[in-house]
Structure 1
Amino acid sequence: MLKIQEIRELIKLIDTSSIDEFTYEHEGSKIKMKKNAVLEGQEVIQSVPSAPAVQPAQQPAPAAAAPEAVEAPKAEQKETKDSQSAGAGSFVKITSPMVGTFYSASSPDAEAFVKNGSKVSKDSVVCIVEAMKLFNEIEAEVNGEVVEILVENGQLVEYGQPLFLVKPE
Structure 2
Amino acid sequence: MDLKEIQNLIKFVAKSGASEVKLEMDDVKITIRTGSDSDTTIVQQVPVQSAPIVQQQPPAAAPAPAPETPTPAPASEDSKYITIKSPIIGTFYRKPAPDKPVFVEVGSEIKEGDVLCVIEAMKLFNEIESEVTGKIVKVLIDDATPVEFDQPLFLVDPS
TM-score relative to the length of structure 1? 0.56
Contact 2:68 2:86 in 1 (8 A): no
Q: Which residue number in structure 2 is paired with residue 43 of structure 1?
A: 71
Tell me, which stretches of 5 or more residues in structure 2 are unaligned?
Answer: 1-32, 35-39, 42-56
SS at structure 2 position matched to 1:9: coil
SS at structure 1 position matched to 2:101: coil
Identity value in percent:
38
- How many residue pairs match? The answer is 107
Establish whether residue 144 from structure 1 lines up as the match of residue 125 from structure 2: no
Q: Distance in 1 between matches of 2:88 and 2:71?
A: 15
Q: Give how far 1:42 is off.
A: 1.7
Which of 59, 63, 81 is the aligned partner of 1:9?
59
Q: Give how far 1:10 is off.
A: 3.9
Q: Give how far 1:44 is off.
A: 1.1
**Rg larger in structure:** 1
Q: Give how far 1:149 is off.
A: 0.1
Contact 1:46 1:90 in 2 (8 A): no
Q: Give how far 1:140 is off.
A: 1.2
* Structure with the largest fraction of strand: 2
Tell me, which stretches of 5 or more residues in structure 1 are unaligned?
Answer: 17-38, 50-87
SS at structure 2 position matched to 1:97: coil
Q: Distance in 1 between matches of 2:102 and 2:94?
A: 5
Give the partner amino acid of 2:105. K
Contact 1:46 1:91 in 2 (8 A): no
Establish whether residue 120 from structure 1 lines up as the match of residue 110 from structure 2: yes
Establish whether residue 165 from structure 1 lines up as the match of residue 151 from structure 2: no
* Structure with the largest fraction of helix: 1
TM-score relative to the length of structure 2? 0.59
Q: Distance in 1 between matches of 2:148 and 2:137?
A: 21
Q: CA RMSD, aligned part only? A: 2.6
Give the partner amino acid of 1:43. T
Q: Give how far 1:12 is off.
A: 4.8
Quickly say closer, same or farther: Cα 1:99–1:108, change in 2 above 3 A: same
Q: Distance in 2 between matches of 1:144 and 1:134?
A: 28
